[in-house]
Structure formats: structure tokens, C-alpha cells
Amino acid sequence: MTAIILSGRTMSAELKIELREDVQRYVQRYGQAPGLVVVCVEGDPASGVYSKAILKLSDTLGVQARLELLPAETTSEELRTALVRLNEDAAVHGIIVQMPLPAHLSQEVVANTISPAKDIDGISPLSAGKLCLGQPGFQPSTAAAVMEMLERSQTPLDGQHVVVLGRSNVVGKPLALLLLQKHATVTVCHSHTHDLPSITRQADVLVAAVGRARMVTAEMVRPGATVIDVGTNAVPEGGIVGDIDFASVEKVAGAATPTPGGVGPLTNVLLLKQCIRAAWQQAAQ
Ligand code: NAP
């Protein structure tokens, strides 16, 4: 068997067309574009690259986005004050703060300060609580991207056994909750899990969000299973590989995502999708 390739690039292109149309409808109705601010505290070189990618995508979709660059020595109180100002700015509908923050700043300050109405990456305790209770709200964008990919590929979830590798607050845990909402039977594995292959081989759908290059090999995959790779790992020989050993897994899986070109291209698009939804919600109040 050779797996069907689930292309995040193709799905992302489809979704971008839909979102552009949604933004046009919003502008026609309210006379202004949805507004997004990316807050970046200087210090992490990768954050600048990620911020630019979000701004470029926003521009493509017609979302009014800007970067708020804060100096590396920004104090906790100054960060809080900046976020409160953005919370109160009616032209700003979504706020994202690039992680990681410098060591002297805690993610908790950000999570507890961003208005839940503008928390488009689902990091606030209220967003997490709503997700846990199955109420509508904003979700961490990578978990949302995996769900979008499963939906667009019409992967059955109801009654299916989904094994999630990884239990982080940004991917594994929220994803498990979203899968439960779709009536999947969910097993979450982590670094203390014994005999991983015996569990992964039971999966109808296997999602890897671990951060270990090519750790999931063909022997760990049930023939015909759908395999989604969230991992992005830089390798010494250059380039990025996933948590899935794609070359061997594609020979046994029914469907699989490549890396790069899988979940990655969808993640920022889902962030923008949630920003546009935030704008509609705020305008309706
Ligand atoms: P993380 O916070 O480091 O969490 C990794 C998880 O994997 C933890 O729950 C850890 O278990 C588990 N784990 C580690 N070694 C394991 C092993 N040998 N067997 C089973 N589980 C193991 O990472 P993350 O933020 O969730 O990200 C995961 C991967 O996704 C990374 O490669 C990251 O770069 C990538 N990522 C991609 C996107 C995208 O847009 N494509 C977005 C976000 C993240 P413990 O909890 O026991 O430590």
C-alpha cells in the first residue's frame, strides 16, 4: 500500500480562498478590516521569522495586521500594560504574543492578561476551560490545524481509535479534547508511556506531536491507518523532518502528511481564521 498524501499546502490554499471571501464580507458590512496585532519581545531570532510569516499571510487575506516589537528588557508590568492597551483598542480583534518569551517574562502573564475575546491562539485559562467543557471558543492553532486537516480529508473520527503522541498544552492536550468532541476514542501517550509501538499499532488515526526526528517508523503503524505528523525537527544534514519516518510509513499507512508541507502550512491560516471569527463576534456585540 502507498499512502494518500494529505497536503497541508493544498488545504491551506483552499482555506485561504474561503477566508479572503469572509474578510471581504466583513469589510462590506463594517467598513473596516479585521485587525490583528502580533506582539514580539525581542530576543528569539525565530520569532521574527514567524511574525513576518503571519503579517504576510494577513496581508494576503486582507486582515489589517501589525507587529508590536517590544525591547528584550521589557518588564512584566510593561508587557501587561501593552496587552491591556491592545485589549481596549476597538480596531484590534485578535492578539498573539510570540513564544518563547525572554526568561524573565512568564507566559502566565500573557495568558492571564489577553482578553478572552481576542485570544485567537487559545492560550487563556478561559479558552482552555471552554475547550475542556466542550463550549465554543478559541483553540490553540496547531491543534485546530490538525482538526481542519482531518475534516478536509474526510477522515472518520466517530468511534475511531485516535492515538496522540504528546501531551503539551499547545498541541497534544487540546487536540485530545477536540477529538473527544468528535466522538473519537482517544489515547494520549507521552515520555512515560510503556511499550509505545503496541499502542500506536492500535490506532485508526495516529498523530505525532513529540519533537523527535523520524521516531515513528512503519512497524509502529497499523496498515491502512491515517498518520498526521505535527513534529518539525531540524536535522544535522540540513532541513526539517517530522516525527514520522515518512519514507517507511508511507508504505503502510492509508494516508499520511509529509513534512514539510503537512500540518505546518495550515497552522497560521487557522490562527487567521480565528482572528476573523473574533472580529465578527466583537462587531456583533
Ligand atoms: P513539547 O511541549 O516539547 O511536548 C512534546 C511532547 O512529546 C511531551 O508531551 C512529551 O512527553 C512527549 N514526548 C517526548 N518524548 C517522547 C517519547 N519518546 N515518546 C512519547 N512521547 C514523548 O512540544 P510541542 O510544543 O507539543 O511540539 C511538538 C512538536 O510539534 C515539535 O516538533 C514542534 O516543533 C512541533 N510543532 C509544530 C507546529 C506546526 O505548526 N507544525 C506547531 C507547534 C509545534 P512529556 O509530557 O512526558 O514530557
pLDDT digits 0-9 by tens, 66-95: 999 999 999 999 999 999 999 999 999 999
Q: Three cell numbers at 75?
A: 518588564
Q: How far apart are CA 68 and CA 82, in angstroms?
A: 9
Distance CA 11, CA 85 (A): 35
pLDDT above 90: residue 278: yes
What's the gap between Cα 116 and its chain centre?
A: 17
148 plus 254 within the same structural domain: yes
Position 246 in a domain: yes
Q: With a 6 A CB cut-off, is 208 part of the ligand 1 pocket?
A: no
Task: With cut-offs at 50, 70 and 90, classify the pLDDT of residue 52.
Answer: very high
Per the structure block, which three cell numbers stand in for 132?
475542556
Atom of ligand 1 minimally distant from the CA of 266: 40
| Same-domain status, 165 and 239 | yes
Q: What is the pLDDT of residues 149-162, one digit of tens each?
A: 999 999 999 999 99
Domain count, the chain: 2
The pLDDT value recorded for residue 45 is 86
List the grid coordinates of 1. Answer: 500500500
From the CA of 172, how far away is ligand 1's center (Å)?
8
* Domain span at 197: 141-264
In a domain, 271, yes or no: no
- Please, what is the end-to-end C-alpha distance for the chain in angstroms? 52
How remote is the CA of residue 201 from the centroid of ligand 1, in Å?
Answer: 20
Do 170 and 229 fall into the same domain? yes
Query: Considering the domain boundaries, does residue 69 fall inside one?
Result: yes
Cell numbers for 126: 478561559
Query: What CATH code is carried by the domain that includes residue 215?
Result: 3.40.50.720
Q: Does the structure show a pLDDT above 90 at 143?
A: yes
- Let me know whether 178 and 236 are in one domain: yes
> 19 lies in a domain?
no
User: Rounded to 5 degrees, what are φ and ψ at 219?
Assistant: -65, -15
pTM of the model: 0.97
Residues 147 and 88 both lie in one domain: no
What pLDDT does residue 1 have?
73
- Tens of pLDDT, residue by residue over 203-242, are 999 999 999 999 999 999 999 999 999 999 999 999 999 9
